[in-house]
Structure 1
């Protein structure tokens, strides 16, 4: 019964919000890296910084989502909070 009164934060978990923001920026950088001008890449000593930075941000965002899914934050309901006070 106590398990039914506990709820997971889900989409309101700050880790999911951070992952979404970093994922959006990573997607934009990855797209910019894929369509990059070869002259711009040559300026960075042949390293496509936008592409590699975007991929790293996408991996980081996926790690945050995985972390939020594997270790969700459990919030107790108001009924659970009142129970210890009544027993005192």
Structure 2
């Protein structure tokens, strides 16, 4: 066993995170897609400024959505959800409706 193979003192065990299944990543991705589409529409398609009082609504909404997407993705990256190694199974609750497990 070399020095690189040995666990270091005080080193934290590798943590499992929710990763792609974290809801903040999903929301950030969706907001980012819509934001990029609206930015594209604001720059290159019909701006329809006469309908919005002289404001390029697609551009500003797309920019807002892109910023919100960056916030969600940054939040998920900086504070990931840590999945516990072991979770105890829930005991059957007779007051809770739903299917029950039958022991054989």
More helix as a share of residues: 1
Following TM superposition, the consecutive aligned residue runs of length 4 or more in structure 1 with deviations greater than 3 angstroms are none
Higher-RCO chain (CA-CA 8 Å, sequence separation at least 6): 1
Any residues of structure 2 matched to 1:48-63 within 5 Å, and which?
Answer: 48-63=56-71
Gaps (5+ residues) in structure 1? 83-88
Using the size of structure 1 for normalisation, the TM-score is 0.78
Aligned length: 79
| Larger Rg, first or second structure (1 or 2) | 2
SS of residue in 2 equivalent to 1:52: helix
Using the size of structure 2 for normalisation, the TM-score is 0.67
Note the alpha carbon deviations across 1:21-65, whole angstroms, 9 max, x for none. Answer: 111011111100001335x21321110000000000000000000
Question: RMSD in angstroms over aligned alpha carbons?
Answer: 2.1
Tell me the equivalent position of 1:37.
46
